[in-house]
Structure 1
Amino acid sequence: MPASVASAHAITGMITRLHDPNYSRWAAQIRATGGCRQPIHLRGRVDHIDRATGELLHRYSTRTEPDRILRLPCKTRRASRCPTCAEVYRADTYQLIRAGLTGGKGVPASVTGHPCLFATLTAPSFGAVHTRREKHGKTLPCHARRDAATCPHGRVMSCIARHGSDETCLGEPLCADCYDYAGSVLFNALAPQLWRYFTDALRRRVAKSSGLTLRELRNQLTISFAKVAEYQRRGVVHFHAVIRLDGPDGPTSPPPAWATADLLADAVRYAASAVSAVVPALADEPARVLRWGTQVDTRPITMNGELSDQAVAGYIAKYATKAAECVGTLDRRISPLDDLGALPLREHARRLIAECFRLGALDELADLRLIQWAHVLGFGGHFSTRSRHYSTTLGAIRVERADYVRDEQITTGRLPLFDEDTVVVIAQWEYVGKGYSLGDALLAAALTGTALPASQTSRGGDAR
């Protein structure tokens, strides 16, 4: 649609909405979404029925709402799709992580005395890439080599540039033809499996170091963790994790005296070096053994030290709202039928996605679902996870927020007070769309003080 035509449609839509008799209610719905870029449109009703008599006590229906729909926040975790909803997810994750470090949300404050580490597990090298290196605040040359070798493709494997932090070449291979794109994609696909092997090896190492069997260890110690996956610019994931030692009942019980931070750090380093995942031999290449990278960082978390509980919680929460955007890919699924050359992709990301399509078509790798996860470069795991005993859950935090909103609605008279033991609640909802029309998008931006990019305002629309 030409820009002039789109502008005319937007202005017409704004005028129509402003003159709508239900504009005030529409504006209230938009404010209630908190500035969501792509609110969900629902149509339906909620009935409150007396359990004993069957009498209808109260009914809410979208028939009385503007456009006969209810708009709700999309609640995505991805900041690239909706910064407002992603900020709520980030704040919830922050509270979850920090509760496991300082207490709160059902976790006792005594948890601060439990040994706790911030660990980082990296990916191995799949080829030299442009990088930004610093030492004592001074930027160093990227890959300065006095006697740099020339690769089989005729490129000198050296770069003396001092790259800025925002240069687009960061993460790009020095020689794309030498780069192991298959290894990068397969590592991402098997990273969740490597993490599972790592946690198993961690428990075995702690048990062996303390002279216990695994069964005996469970009766004395619980290893709790919360982790997040972060993409490096070269397109591979690495994991940041808070790992804590608790007693047999989790954070409510202290760990035994022999369970120290030094013992945990030794176990982390050993487990990271001991585990591997095997990719079977393919038609055109031999079997692969994938491992964690050699750079394994373990640092103790302190209340007021260099690595505080606030810093760790903020770091993990920030990356819980991100995916592979920093690599130059898209935040939506890509089909093999799409023309990769026409999509707004970095060349490095384009080749990684093409490798996902190539490997995903092989029967031997069908279980990895590489085609489905091509837009995230093969990684099909959860970006943020926690063990059962680490702290509270995101679900519990959301229920607490919903209860607060419900109590406020009852207090202000917008929702009647019912005895939950004597009332049956029956809800019927239908999804009918999402997003804004062009005119509504401009009004929503003015009402909430948020910017709505063209990619969001031009799709979706009213359900009128």
Structure 2
Amino acid sequence: MTNPIDLPDDLRAVVMRASMPDYTEWQRQMRAIGGCSNPIRLIGRRVVSDAATGKVIDVFDTSALMPGYLLKGCGNRRASRCPACSKVYQSDTYQLVRAGLAGGKDVPASVSEHPLVFVTLTAPSFGPVHARHRQTGRDGLPRRCRVRRESEPCPHGLSTSCLRRHQEDDEAVGQPLCPECYDYVGAVLWNAHAGQLWHAFAVYLDRHVAAAVGISRKALRQEAKRSYVKVAEYQARGLVHFHAVVRIDGPDGPTSPPPLWATTGLLEDAVLSAAKTVSVTAPGPDGDRTMRFGAQIDVQHIVLDDAVQSQGLSQRHVAGYVAKYATKAAEVAGAVDRRVRRLSNLDNADVTPHARRMIATCLELAELPEYRDTTLVNWAHMLGYRGHCTTKSAAYSTTLSKLRGDRAEHQAAKHREALGLPAIDPTKVVIDAEWRFVMAGLQRGEAAIVAALRPRQHAAT
């Protein structure tokens, strides 16, 4: 038998961790949280008492566990930071979006009959970049990147044409043809004000709906309510664009039918006209700039899952699409998934030259008087985008907090059932809990075990 001392350092650490007396309980807890990459260790106790009599029903104390602590998932939504917790976040987002499309989670099924559209709002161009085209040409091959016959070189002597057929993993995709010609200030300012532009779009949308019907905005609020859920997706060029489900309900939200004048066609026309008209002003080093959405504005109908696909996007497809991008951020555009306070933080990071220039521009703009009091420097790693990845209006559907609470209650009930304990009515008990944070992360030898455990865990679920 091989002596553990003779093994490589990493393998020896795994063997040593697996031989510890608390390993079985630690592995059980890691399986329970799906193989979290950055688990949180807690110590404390929880006492469940009957609300009427005060009788203690259940006591849980971490001192009774072999490790002496309880593991809790980090809850990070980014797949690059924690694949396990991001998978849970993605599933919750899917359920949240799907409930607003087809009903469920306290949303009536009749909501699927309300006017619904799937909207994609893109960023404008700040300079030509290398692109990968999914469409094929007459030869059956992917289209060439950027065909410009008889094109003149840029002022820096670089070609403004590219005849390559970029593959999906080509590092050139999203990179400017000429970095010196690219408007980095404009790109960062657009990301920084994209959230404000979306808010203005929502306001303009109500105005355009009211104008199409021929009523005032005050009257519109008494007859209908606009609901939405949106996700911000990073393009390869580092700019965000928005995918959103927009819906018209009655005045009380999804539980009330929309007015007779509310049709999908009316909503589609209002979205297009509002998106083309809305703008916000962004102060910059060379004066104020007007920020608008790009020319590529897409509005598609949302149909039932069993409808003909040519009629529009299915509810399942839309929910999956939004949930997919809810776990991604600027790292898909070649940036990093952690905050950057200074450029020296990127010395050993795998960052594309384009993303590095955008981060540098963020840090430079943060020194301007107009942005000195903002959090732009905190969002340099997001290439200037300061909004949330996924947002929704209050009336769209359920909330992530509600979904997490329901899941916690379900898991607690299953745990009690496995132990042979009676079920607990959460409305008739008092829970007194006290927890203290110990540390976060994996100890030596644990990362390799978790990496091996995670695929099996996900396959089992």
Per the TM superposition, whether the score is higher than 0.5 is yes
Q: In the alignment, which residue of structure 2 is the partner of 1:162?
A: 165
CA distance in structure 2 between the aligned counterparts of 1:420 and 1:157, rounded to whole angstroms = 65
Q: In the alignment, which residue of structure 2 is the partner of 1:92?
A: 92
User: Does structure 2 conserve the Cα–Cα contact (< 8 Å) formed by 1:189 and 1:368?
Assistant: no
User: Does structure 2 conserve the Cα–Cα contact (< 8 Å) formed by 1:329 and 1:375?
Assistant: yes
Query: What are the within-5 Å matches in structure 2 for residues 293-332 of structure 1?
Result: 293-303=294-304, 304-306=307-309, 307-332=313-338
Q: Which shows bigger deviation, 246-255 or 352-361?
A: 246-255
CA distance in structure 2 between the aligned counterparts of 1:5 and 1:108, rounded to whole angstroms = 63
Q: Which shows bigger deviation, 297-306 or 372-381?
A: 297-306
Q: In the alignment, which residue of structure 1 is the partner of 2:257?
A: 254
CA distance in structure 2 between the aligned counterparts of 1:22 and 1:441, rounded to whole angstroms = 16
Q: In the alignment, which residue of structure 1 is the partner of 2:407?
A: 401
User: Does structure 1 conserve the Cα–Cα contact (< 8 Å) formed by 2:413 and 2:424?
Assistant: no
User: Does structure 2 conserve the Cα–Cα contact (< 8 Å) formed by 1:272 and 1:292?
Assistant: yes
Q: In the alignment, which residue of structure 2 is the partner of 1:101?
A: 101
**Where does structure 2 lack aligned partners over 5 or more consecutive residues?**
none
CA distance in structure 2 between the aligned counterparts of 1:57 and 1:319, rounded to whole angstroms = 43
SS in 2 for 1:365: coil
SS in 2 for 1:155: coil
Per-residue Cα deviation, 1:187-238 (whole angstroms, up to 9, x for no partner)? 1110110000000000011011111111111111111111100000000000
TM-score (norm 1): 0.90
Query: What are the within-5 Å matches in structure 2 for residues 130-279 of structure 1?
Result: 130-133=130-133, 134-135=135-136, 138-279=141-282
Per-residue Cα deviation, 1:127-162 (whole angstroms, up to 9, x for no partner)? 000112324664222121122122221212111112
Q: In the alignment, which residue of structure 2 is the partner of 1:122?
A: 122
CA distance in structure 2 between the aligned counterparts of 1:376 and 1:408, rounded to whole angstroms = 40
Per-residue Cα deviation, 1:32-64 (whole angstroms, up to 9, x for no partner)? 111212211112222335668877654322223
Q: Residue type matched to 2:151 in 1?
A: A
SS in 2 for 1:372: helix
User: Does structure 1 conserve the Cα–Cα contact (< 8 Å) formed by 2:84 and 2:454?
Assistant: no
Query: Identity percentage over the alignment?
Result: 47
Q: Residue type matched to 1:429 in 2?
A: W
CA distance in structure 2 between the aligned counterparts of 1:419 and 1:199, rounded to whole angstroms = 42
**Pairing 1:335–2:341 present:** yes
Q: In the alignment, which residue of structure 1 is the partner of 2:83?
A: 83
Q: In the alignment, which residue of structure 2 is the partner of 1:25?
A: 25
Per-residue Cα deviation, 1:260-283 (whole angstroms, up to 9, x for no partner)? 11111111111111111112253x
CA distance in structure 2 between the aligned counterparts of 1:238 and 1:6, rounded to whole angstroms = 53
Q: Please report how far the alpha carbon of residue 184 of structure 1 lies from its aligned counterpart in structure 2 after TM superposition.
A: 0.7
**Aligned with residue 350 of structure 1, among 333, 346, 356:** 356
CA distance in structure 2 between the aligned counterparts of 1:309 and 1:418, rounded to whole angstroms = 36
User: Does structure 2 conserve the Cα–Cα contact (< 8 Å) formed by 1:188 and 1:379?
Assistant: yes
Per-residue Cα deviation, 1:267-303 (whole angstroms, up to 9, x for no partner)? 1111111111112253xx1211111111111111112
Q: In the alignment, which residue of structure 2 is the partner of 1:458?
A: none
SS in 2 for 1:300: strand
SS in 1 for 2:298: strand
SS in 1 for 2:237: coil
CA distance in structure 2 between the aligned counterparts of 1:374 and 1:161, rounded to whole angstroms = 31
